[in-house]
């Protein structure tokens, strides 16, 4: 059977789905637990931050060049915060390196919220991983390590964590599970596609579903003709371009200000998202030029976008993510913008693309100037400034261990606080479940591919920068930075561009 160009994307997605399924089953087998709500079911784990800012030192100095602690007296101690979590932990894992003596004689002290010592625990600390059974009953929120009569001792602390269960994850079971499930999946797929007629029917069914869903959405968009006519009555044609630039610029600056004021990621987040949807609709309606017509969108590209948005909708309805309703915003508000954009003449389509880039560039420029003049780059574009490499790895590890099929409503916890993942792909998988990874990655790849095909340097710059941000930042916070807004909205340009 010849390779149908429109069938390439669903076939790649099918294989990626098999790989995600195999990895998920492997995680459950490795941790010896079958639980779709928690693949890595190895008990609760609490990672204690080992960054210098999170440790109170008494007669202990830190050598940044060597990354070691130096004991300056015979009565020294280090104080760590365990954080507030209503879970009883039974094991302490501590990784130490660069010890300049034959081990460390340490006294561990555990304290409750009122500052009263719950108990003492004496044991040695050696190079590498140290595992201790905690004799603690009840909660404690702070741990101290006392170092008596060990002046001039040097050591490094790489990782500290409290666990409910012993770390029993089996790499062998994980690898066997992943390999076995993936080969079974490939065999099942081969049996399914061995009959060309059946394969053809499945491809036709996929295209039919995409077409029907596209028709339903476009029917909804057609109902917006009256509000679009009403809006355009008050905005002269020669001012609509400026109107759209201002609306998109205000959209991006609003979220920048809300984030700086600390009111974006709170209980009012859904209202911020609703406001963004309203602005997108007004921007879409301002592109109205006459009678609306249904569009022949690129089925492959629209199919990826639709599946991705639908998974977001389902997970929002099931779990209630922090950014509630983003799937609906993409399908209905951004989709409406794409529809009205597609109903414009070819020259006007190019004009709106430039308007989008101008608004994004202006918003980015002002944000950079604000950060320069205020000398405040904390959280700029989501960059993990001031984060140690070890803490970054712990955050990634925490997110990977907490992946499941259903997603989570809040951020993961590590170091006693909720932290971002500093990786857009992990962020999406944690928030919406692992099933989102296939359409999400296919959308990213499809956008980049189309940008390369049309060879537009401006679009390639936006897409390339966004892919970089996805890898190293919490890029998938809706509307948080101009690259997110421009990236997701410029996708509509590829809906109606010829393949």
In tens digits, the chain (499 residues) has pLDDT values of 444 555 566 666 677 777 777 777 777 777 766 666 666 666 677 777 777 777 888 888 888 888 888 888 888 888 876 554 556 778 888 888 888 888 888 888 888 777 777 778 888 888 888 988 877 656 677 788 888 888 888 888 888 888 877 776 777 777 887 788 788 877 777 776 666 555 566 666 667 787 888 888 899 999 998 999 999 899 888 899 999 999 999 999 999 888 888 788 767 788 889 999 999 999 999 998 888 888 888 877 888 888 889 888 888 777 766 677 888 999 999 999 999 998 888 777 888 999 999 999 999 998 888 877 776 655 556 566 666 666 677 778 778 777 777 777 777 766 556 677 788 888 888 888 888 888 888 888 888 888 888 888 888 898 988 998 888 888 888 888 889 999 999 998 888 755 4
Nearest to 109 by CA among 72, 75, 68, 80: 80
Q: Do 128 and 96 contact (CB within 8 A), yes or no?
A: yes
Beta-carbon contacts of residue 468 (< 8 Å; ≥ 6 apart): none
Residues constituting the chain? 499
CATH of 45-163, one of 3.90.1150.10, 3.40.50.970, 3.40.50.10490, 2.60.120.430: 2.60.120.430
Contact 29, 22 (CB under 8 A): no
Which helix or strand (DSSP H or E) is residue 105 part of?
strand 104-111
The encoded tokens of residue 87 equal 């879970």
Q: What dihedral angle (degrees, nearest 10) is formed by the CA atoms of 242, 482, 217, 450?
A: 100
Query: Which residues, listed in sequence order, are joined to residue 60 by a DSSP beta bridge?
Result: 71
| Spatial separation of the C-alpha atoms in residues 371 and 434, rounded to whole Å | 35
Which run of H or of E encompasses 78?
Answer: strand 75-81
Strand partners, 267: none
Helix spans in 161-298 (H): 171-194, 196-222, 225-234, 237-260, 269-285
Backbone angles phi, psi at 409, to 5 degrees: -80, -25
What is the model's pLDDT at position 1? 40
* Alpha helix stretches (DSSP H) within 4-53: 8-30
The pLDDT value recorded for residue 456 is: 82
Place of tokens 């809040």: 410
Residue 316 near residue 261, CB atoms below 8 Å: no
Q: Chain centroid to CA 74: how far?
A: 46
Q: Where in the chain is the domain with CATH 2.60.120.430?
A: 45-163
Strand partners, 93: 131, 161
Cα–Cα distance measured from residue 435 to residue 393, given in angstroms and rounded to the nearest whole number: 23
Contacts (Cβ under 8 Å, ≥6 apart) of 460: 451, 452
- Determine whether 63 is exposed, middle or buried from the number of CB atoms within 10 Å of its CB (0-12, 13-18, 19+): exposed
d(CA 17, CA 13): 6
Q: Which two tokens stand for residue 157?
A: 């602390």
Please say whether the beta carbons of 108 and 120 come within 8 A. yes
pLDDT score, position 5:
52
Strand-pairing partners, residue 413, are 418
Q: For residues 136 and 110, is the Cβ–Cβ distance under 8 A?
A: yes
Supply the DSSP symbol for 37.
T
- Tell me if 96 sits within 8 A of 130, measured CB to CB: yes
Output helix, strand, coil percentages for the chain, rounded to the nearest 5: 55, 15, 30
């Amino acid at each position: 059977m010849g390779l149908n160009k429109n069938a390439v994307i669903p076939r790649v997605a099918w294989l990626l789905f098999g790989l995600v399924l195999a990895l998920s089953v492997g995680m459950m087998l490795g941790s010896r637990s079958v639980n779709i709500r928690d693949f890595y079911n190895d008990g609760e784990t609490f990672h204690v931050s080992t960054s210098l800012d999170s440790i109170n030192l008494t007669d202990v100095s830190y050598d940044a060049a060597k990354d070691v602690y130096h004991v300056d007296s015979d009565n020294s101690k280090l104080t760590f915060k365990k954080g507030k979590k209503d879970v009883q932990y039974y094991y302490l894992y501590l990784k130490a390196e660069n010890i300049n003596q034959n081990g460390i004689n340490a006294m561990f002290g555990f304290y409750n919220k009122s500052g009263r010592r719950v108990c003492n625990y004496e044991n040695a600390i050696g190079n590498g991983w140290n595992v201790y059974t905690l004799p603690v009953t009840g909660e404690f929120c702070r741990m101290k390590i006392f170092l008596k009569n060990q002046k001039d001792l040097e050591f490094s602390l790489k990782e500290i964590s409290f666990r409910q269960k012993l770390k029993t994850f089996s790499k062998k079971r994980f690898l066997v599970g992943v390999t076995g499930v993936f080969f079974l999946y490939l065999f099942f797929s081969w049996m399914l596609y061995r009959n060309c007629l059946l394969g053809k029917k499945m491809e036709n069914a996929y295209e039919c579903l995409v077409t029907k869903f596209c028709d339903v959405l476009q029917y909804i968009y057609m109902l917006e003709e009256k509000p679009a006519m009403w809006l355009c009555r008050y905005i002269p044609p020669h001012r609509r371009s400026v109107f759209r630039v201002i609306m998109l610029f205000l959209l991006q600056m609003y979220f920048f200000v809300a984030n700086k004021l600390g009111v974006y990621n709170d209980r009012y987040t859904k209202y911020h998202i609703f406001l963004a949807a309203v602005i997108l609709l007004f921007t879409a309606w301002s592109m109205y030029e006459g009678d609306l017509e249904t569009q022949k969108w690129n089925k492959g590209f629209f199919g990826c976008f639709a599946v991705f948005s639908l998974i977001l909708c389902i997970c929002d309805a099931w779990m209630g993510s922090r950014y509630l309703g983003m799937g609906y915003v993409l399908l209905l508000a951004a989709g409406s913008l794409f529809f009205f954009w597609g109903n414009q003449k070819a020259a006007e389509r190019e004009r709106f693309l430039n308007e989008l880039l101008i608004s994004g560039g202006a918003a980015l420029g002002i944000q950079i100037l604000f950060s320069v003049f205020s000398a405040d780059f904390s959280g700029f574009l989501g960059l993990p400034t001031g984060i140690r490499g070890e803490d970054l790895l712990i955050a990634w590890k925490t997110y990977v261990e907490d992946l499941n099929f259903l997603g989570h409503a809040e951020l993961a916890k590590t170091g006693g606080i909720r932290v971002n993942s500093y990786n857009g792909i992990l962020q999406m998988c944690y928030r919406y479940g692992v099933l989102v990874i296939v359409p999400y990655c296919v959308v990213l790849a499809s956008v980049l591919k189309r940008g390369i095909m049309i060879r537009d340097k401006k679009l390639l710059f936006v897409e390339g920068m966004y892919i970089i941000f996805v890898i190293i930042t919490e890029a998938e916070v809706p509307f948080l930075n101009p690259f997110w807004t421009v990236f997701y909205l410029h996708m509509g340009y590829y809906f109606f561009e010829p393949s």
